[in-house]
Amino acid sequence: MKRIVTAIVAVLIIGAGVLAAIPFVVSSNTVRTGITSKIEAFTGRKVTFQGNPSLSFNPFLGFEISDLVLVDLSRGEADTPLLRVEKVKAQLDIIPLLSGKIEVTEYQFLRPRFELKTFTDGSKNWEFDKGGFNEAIQATITNRANQTDDLLPETKIGGLEIINGIMIYDDEIAGTSETVTSINGKFLWPNTNSDINISGNGIWRGEGITTLSNLKDPIKILSGGESQAFVEINSQPLKFKFDGQANMFADLFVKGDLAANTPSISRLAEVLKFDIGEFSSFENWSAVGKFESTANSTVLSDATFNIGDSSASGVVRVSTDELGKSKLDGTLAFEEIDLADYFNSTGLTNSNKNKPNLINGLNVDLRISSQSINIGQINLDNVAAAINIDNEGWILDIGDASAFNGKMVAKLGERISENKQQAFLDISASDVDAENIAGLFGKKLVGISGKTSFIANVRTNKLTDGFINSGLNGTFTGDFNSGDITGVNLPKLMTQKTEEGQLEIDGFDETTSTSFDEMKIKLFLNNGIAAVTQSTIQTTNNMSLQAIGDINLYEGSLDLQFQEIGEDGPKENRLIINGSTINPSVTLQSGPTSVNQN
């Protein structure tokens, strides 16, 4: 035990002696020259600092200097320095130090300020045209030209810890500026032939961001070549991970596995300063797949996406044309799409949304398929469709779908017409259930069962009141077969006799109905009012009825007239239905005919 204590005391005495000898063995000027020459030799830039180096024991044995500045003299002393550090601590290798040599193994920058610039001539202040860094870059370029993989001129670099730093990037060409504050992190790059590991955190545009990255061949990627790269970014609006090959500086190229997700598309768009218009209504989003990107095109393939409560698989691409216009296209297969929140209960457009719903500056051309789509009151199955968005509006083109136990094709959307945003809905349906159709075009008047085939083409410019409004225009033509009209027994009412020639009935009776073999309806819509023309009903008891009149779809009022058509023309009794759709008034009148059969 005594020997162990003696050995420990001896080590402590020797260590103390070494520390005490350092100021005598190495002068301040030697340290100054050693530190500045190392940085100047690597960067080719002039380095200055204030005062004399002082011995430091925390967080490691080394020297401390103040107000270090890295200046690009080619642009003059007055130019904003690339780097200014309030305090630098340099860890020195003890053994070379005792012989008077300065070998720095790690730096600690306290409150550094990095100011990166792209100048109007396209040059950048972080591009070093001299020094060991540039020599390694040029050697890599030569290797690539000669198709060799020789070792680079090796320069020892070491580690760097940043404490409470700030980075500013100014682009004089674009006229933009970005700032990252509260930077804390570690940078490990042993030498120019080794890989780089970077970890840290900071605040950008009000969001805390943590990052972890590795570049296997940093000099290659900085000289315009490729390197294996790993990048992970974690923040509240976005989590992102990439693992693959990258070339970030010459011919931009990135290829590998990507995973990204955000709990709020609107917040992410806000942070990125990207206007996505009404698509900001979508919240959570995630994507996992094979990522490939060049300067003008980004593709995510073999991918799985989640948007809100909907999931999809497929491929998407964002490309930029020669005019700088961006386009999103691709093919996605969904299990289910729920758009009910974006379509109100009376039709196409949600009246609580602001228009237009465009992604500003981005064209979209997506081919989609889905086992089911919920669009307000319309539920579609086995859907094949296309979504198109440009600066004129958006279109959902449904080429094939099952709906209401039948088949349907449809086109709906919003376009700019005569400087006004216009919503439209075009539907062609065959053999669908009639009872589900009436509610699409206003308040339910009566129940209709049976099968129907119809064509509807409607438009409106008044988007603030929902789709069914006083600006609704278009046509509806439908053929109904083998069904019932609940709420009214038309044959019974039409054949009633009255001494005074008139019979009044309050409202519809939901316990009664009119059975028909065939019914044809034709509507012309003008400013929310549907004019009923050339509409006929062939009842199961062989009565032929013809209808004319108006239905105010927006206000829910009606003025209809039914008359029986015999072999010799219209018969005397006329059934008149008017008032409101909630509490209609039914009147039977006898007298000369007034129905136009044309």
557: CB partners within 8 A, 6+ apart: 551, 578, 579, 580, 581
What confidence category does residue 289 fall into, taking pLDDT thresholds of 50, 70 and 90?
Answer: very high
pLDDT at 518: 95
Mean pLDDT for 203-228 is: 90
Residue 250 or residue 257, greater confidence? 257
pLDDT at 386: 93
Q: Is the pLDDT assigned to residue 476 strictly greater than 90?
A: yes
Residue written as token pair 């943590």:
210
Percent of the chain beyond pLDDT 90?
A: 31
Q: Is the pLDDT assigned to residue 441 strictly greater than 60?
A: no
pLDDT at 346: 36
Burial class (CB within 10 angstroms; exposed 0-12, middle 13-18, buried 19+) of 240: middle
pLDDT (tens digit, 9 = 90+) per residue, 48-98? 887 777 666 666 667 888 898 988 766 655 567 889 999 988 877 665 555
Residue 525 or residue 41, greater confidence? 525
Q: How far is CA 151 from the centre of its chain?
A: 44
pTM above 0.75, yes or no: no
Q: Which range is least confidently modeled, 65-79, 178-192, 281-295? A: 65-79
Q: How far is CA 452 from CA 294, 375, 550, in A?
A: 52, 20, 22
Whether 167 contacts 116, CB under 8 Å: yes
State which of 16-30, 100-114, 471-485 shows the largest mean pLDDT.
471-485
pLDDT at 155: 80
Residue written as token pair 């130019």:
79
Whether 410 contacts 427, CB under 8 Å: yes
pLDDT at 46: 86
> Concatenated DSSP letters for 283-343?
--EEEEEEEEEESSEEEEEEEEEEETTEEEEEEEEEEE-TT--EEEEEEEEES-EE-GGGS
Whether 532 contacts 546, CB under 8 Å: no
Q: Which range is least confidently modeled, 419-428, 476-485, 589-598? A: 589-598
pLDDT (tens digit, 9 = 90+) per residue, 122-168? 888 888 888 888 888 888 888 877 877 777 777 888 889 999 999 99
pLDDT (tens digit, 9 = 90+) per residue, 556-581? 888 999 998 888 888 877 888 888 77
pLDDT at 13: 39
Domain boundaries, the chain: 28-194, 195-306, 336-467, 473-589
Residue written as token pair 């080394």:
62
Mean pLDDT for 482-511 is: 71
Please state, rounded to an integer, the average pLDDT across all residues of the chain. 80
pLDDT at 35: 74
Cross-strand partners of 583: none
Specify the amino acid at residue 293.
S
Percent of the chain beyond pLDDT 70?
A: 77
Region of 508 on the Ramachandran plot (φ > 0 left; ψ -120 to 50 alpha; else beta):
beta
pLDDT (tens digit, 9 = 90+) per residue, 389-432? 888 888 989 998 998 889 999 998 888 766 777 888 899 999 99
User: Which alpha helices (H) appear in 26-130, and where do they start and end?
Assistant: 28-43, 94-98
- The rounded distance, in Å, linking the Cα atoms of 41 and 7 is 43
- The rounded distance, in Å, linking the Cα atoms of 506 and 129 is 93
Residue 94 or residue 511, greater confidence? 511
